[in-house]
Structure 1
Amino acid sequence: MRSLIKALTAALATGLLAGVSPPGVASAQAGPQGSSSATQEAIDWKPCAQDASAECGNLRLPVDWARPSGETFDLAVARRKATDPDRRVGVLLVNPGGPGDSGVDFAVRRAKSHFGTDIQERFDIVGFDPRGVGGSSPVKCSTELLDRQPSPYPGDQAQFDRLAEFNRALREDCRRHTGPVFDHADTLSVVRDMDALRRSLGEKKINYFGHSYGTLIGEQYAEEYGDRIRSMALTANIDHSLGAREFLVSSAATAEDSFHQFVKWCERTSSCAMHGRDVTAVWDGLLARADRGEIRDPENPDQLLTAHAIALFAFKRFYGPDWDELATYVAGLDAQEPNERRRADDSGRQTKSEPFYAVFCQDWDFRAKDYREYARLTQAEVGAAPHMRGSPRVHAGVAGCIGWPDEVNNPQHRLRITEAPKILMLHSLHDPANHFAWAVNVHRQTRGTTVLLPYAGAGHSVYGRSDCTRDAVDDYLTELRVPSAGSSCAPAGTH
């Protein structure tokens, strides 16, 4: 695996792998580059409905930062004030990733268990729902249409054309149900929202903690507003300079690596539900049975599971990693008798939130033009991950952009940070979603600004993996101490 990481890292490095506000709402009228704006009201914070120990509010912002006096939306915000005001450092803005995860939910429900005491004592922890997510004009699409989504693995040009036609219909459906925010859900617009939030909070500089897709928000904020950062910690980093083939292949390779980490764990761990068996053979046989329509969903016995759905379940369990749960799940599916009954859709909701494509397809110019191009991408992807059959999440994301307009609001580019202070990056060597080479490449693009601390273990989450990872982030955010060059954090034992 180290040779694969080395090879992919080298490839990445060469570029082969880019109004009146209602009560309690503040108004923001700054231009897209953060030009001077009128003095803003402070947000009228009120106790959050979910937890009165946190405060919630809204910030009214332009939908299109190129037209700041045009249509607006309300950015949902939540805050946990520093518990030791005498030692307060400032605000810590947070984004937990996705795209589509709620920063408000993180601040209200998860921040107290995620961050250590020192961070909670010294920072106002502020989460916001990025535009299109949660309480910030969420992207909504017809449930009935989403349920008719075709396979992301078309077998010929006719099936490719049907997928493109569906994606165009879904895009228009989501635009209709969402409103104008849908066309401006890209990360660069979120970055400008975040700077407006900084101004509304009355802060000259912010501290920021971003995870996974939240690192892209941080990276681009550092490009646009680097002089407004005191500290920035990024975990599970996104490389926004990749083309479609390199993005798919590297995503698939790191998902496959996580599968092999799971197999090795099961071989050495007696509590694994498949200990003593050929786990790879069981897995491959299970996916083949799913292809034949023989595997039922344990939670919905009348519904069949596709191989893609099983791989996606495993992929999500690699995040923890939650290997015990995955082993039990796979063993249970393997023990099933064939059953081809299907259940009817019983969804009662007419629409549901689906922000992923609105963000992803405006941040990446991945637009396969025909079946031959897409088949070549898929072949390369599956070649890098024969057991996982590629990266389930990324493959579906790229498939979902087929048929979208070619114009992209926030296209890929090499990261250019000129004014920011030292930024701390952490990344797992065996991250299932974001290849370690992505972090290496981002660090190479920003060598004078970023410090990369590898975590030599598995999983997508990094900060809470060990005392080493937690202390590195806490010491940096509170005291601006960065790890010495060449430092790394050892794996946190068995999982």
Structure 2
Amino acid sequence: MQILSQGTRHVNRKSVALTALGVAVCAVGLYGVANAQLSTEKPRASPGKERGDLTWGTCDRPDLPVQKGVECGTLKVPVDWAEPQSETVALRAYRWKAADQSKRKGTILNFPSGPGEAGDIAFADLRQHLPGYDLIALDPRGVEQSAPLNCTADKALKIPQVPPTDSRRFHALAKDQSSFWSTCATAPAGLKNHMDAYSNARDAEALRKAMRLERINVHGFSYGTLTAERYLGLYGDHVNGSVLESVMDPTQSRRAFVTSAARGMEAIFDRFGKWCAKETSCALHGKDVASVFRTAQKKADAGQIPGSLHSKPWSAATVTGYFEVTAPSSFKEAAEGLKKLSEGKNPMPGEGKPGQDQTPKSVPFPDPIVCSDFDLSAGTVGQARHDLKATRKAAPVLGFSTNASHYTATCLSGPRPAEGSSKPVTSRSDHPTMLLSNTLDPATPHTWADRVAGQLRHKAVPVKTDQVGHGGGLDDPQTKRKVVAYMDQANRAGR
């Protein structure tokens, strides 16, 4: 999920205003998929004339230059795959050929993290850890240069990290969210209700066909694993190796989603507390870290901490959010920040009063895409109360995962889950899927990968890395050796 982006690229939370931490049923035949046009003579990518056409050119992405050697293209696909002759949407495609084509091992189709990350987000890491493969990807629907979902910024900023549990405020939130969703738009307009994982999986199959690739490999990270799972279920017979890291479990109910995420974050806090007790470099060494945390939350709720956290005023929820952001990358920074918060000081340099940031009227805001794939709406104030009771039981100190609970507020209005969105993961590939997880992940707890492994049964190869963080499994030498050996074997067998 968008929570903590992998690698080098992060969502600009001040301008985009707030990803939570900055995380149909049967195949429809592809219509009119033409041969790929592989000319790179044009100065920039231009849309194909027909749906299914694919043209390549140089990249002109303004927000972040692409890796040298990456080509960009545009692929036209139906907005609604159930109506394959309906209006089309132009999707941004990426291709990065292996340096030595004579030794090329195959092609890896990447499904990016998010929702909100560009298709090529993992290209540099994949080239480093799995050299010798051509890399291809799409910007998912509603993201980056694939008809981005844009929403009114001030309304996005007002979405709470945890839904309120008193009736008056909850009903006001439900009304606000209905108004908020009406401000969100895509071009074409119909795409707004077709941004789910099944649709993205069908887009990926259109890309494979347009490139005339008989066999491919699949890589997915975080939210991208959801689309990868649906791709394997629909089109896995074209897949050799598939590596999914920081795995999403589509079968979870809303309550399971928020409680498992809260339990995962509490486990990180427990590890943090043990580290502080042992390490003298910890700013809270010799102190009761849980007591310090609760003091910080009380001062925040009492309005005794100046400024804000990414345009959100300090509260018990933002203190939890601060820990979620800092601890996975640096226990030392988290300890220093919690100490300042407990003293009534703002640990975020440059953060002023809420609302002082210059925020554009409308911004790319991909968070509601999650609502296309999970039924996360709290629905009623009673459900919100029971959710909070369950998360507090699962996480006695932190209280909740702001990343997960944020979506139960966001999804009060927005796209409805696609048909079949909660179906278990299946695969049509002849080869098992490798599922990478960390023992302590702030966004996708390892229990999610365990559940998907149970759904895939003999078609799963679980690999768990003992580390704190979201992703980064391939940076562990032992995990990397397993992945490389698995991919080599899968591609030899798939020839």
Is it true that 1:249 corresponds to 2:255 in the alignment? no
> How does 1:163-312 map onto structure 2 within 5 Å?
163-175=173-185, 179-297=189-307, 304-312=313-321
Task: Note the aligned Cα RMSD (angstroms).
Answer: 2.7
> How does 1:306-345 map onto structure 2 within 5 Å?
306-319=315-328, 321-336=329-344, 342-345=353-356
Q: Secondary structure at the match of 1:192?
A: helix
> How does 1:131-150 map onto structure 2 within 5 Å?
131-149=141-159
- 1:217 to 1:387, Cα distance in 2 relative to 1, 3 A: same
Is it true that 1:56 corresponds to 2:66 in the alignment? no
Partner of 2:441: 431
Whole-angstrom distance in 1 between the partners of 2:211 and 2:97: 12
Q: Secondary structure at the match of 1:59?
A: strand
Whole-angstrom distance in 2 between the partners of 1:46 and 1:191: 24
Whole-angstrom distance in 2 between the partners of 1:407 and 1:427: 26
- 1:296 to 1:436, Cα distance in 2 relative to 1, 3 A: same
Aligned residues of 2:299 and 2:344 also touching (Cα < 8 A): no
Which stretch shows the higher mean deviation, 416-425 or 404-413? 404-413
Q: Secondary structure at the match of 2:135?
A: strand
- 1:276 to 1:465, Cα distance in 2 relative to 1, 3 A: farther
Whole-angstrom distance in 2 between the partners of 1:374 and 1:229: 41
Whole-angstrom distance in 2 between the partners of 1:213 and 1:440: 16
Whole-angstrom distance in 2 between the partners of 1:98 and 1:410: 21
Partner of 1:353: 364
- 1:352 to 1:404, Cα distance in 2 relative to 1, 3 A: closer
Is it true that 1:40 corresponds to 2:35 in the alignment? yes
Whole-angstrom distance in 2 between the partners of 1:76 and 1:116: 20
Whole-angstrom distance in 2 between the partners of 1:176 and 1:128: 17
- 1:130 to 1:403, Cα distance in 2 relative to 1, 3 A: closer
- 1:296 to 1:304, Cα distance in 2 relative to 1, 3 A: farther
Please report the TM-score for the alignment, with normalisation by the length of structure 2: 0.82
Aligned residues of 2:78 and 2:84 also touching (Cα < 8 A): yes
Whole-angstrom distance in 2 between the partners of 1:303 and 1:66: 41
Aligned residues of 1:94 and 1:103 also touching (Cα < 8 A): yes
Kindly, what percent of the aligned residue pairs are identical? 28
Partner of 2:112: 96
Partner of 2:421: 411
How far did 1:423 drift? 1.0
How far did 1:129 drift? 1.2
Q: Secondary structure at the match of 2:474?
A: coil
Q: Secondary structure at the match of 1:388?
A: coil
Q: Secondary structure at the match of 1:223?
A: helix
* Counterpart selection for 2:172 from 162, 170, 174: 162
Which stretch shows the higher mean deviation, 411-420 or 284-293? 411-420
Per-residue CA deviation, residues 365-409 of structure 1 (Å, 9 max, x unaligned), is 233332112211221112111222111110010121124576644
Whole-angstrom distance in 2 between the partners of 1:475 and 1:176: 42
Aligned residues of 1:365 and 1:408 also touching (Cα < 8 A): no
Q: Secondary structure at the match of 2:473?
A: coil
- 1:184 to 1:280, Cα distance in 2 relative to 1, 3 A: same
- 1:73 to 1:481, Cα distance in 2 relative to 1, 3 A: closer
Supply the AA of the counterpart residue of 2:322.
F
Whole-angstrom distance in 2 between the partners of 1:151 and 1:415: 29
Supply the AA of the counterpart residue of 1:183.
N
Structure 2 residue runs of 5 or longer lacking an equivalent are 1-25, 38-53, 347-351
Q: Secondary structure at the match of 2:75?
A: strand
Aligned residues of 1:186 and 1:410 also touching (Cα < 8 A): no
How far did 1:481 drift? 8.8
Q: Secondary structure at the match of 2:185?
A: helix
Please report the TM-score for the alignment, with normalisation by the length of structure 1: 0.82
Aligned residues of 2:89 and 2:188 also touching (Cα < 8 A): no
Which stretch shows the higher mean deviation, 304-313 or 375-384? 304-313
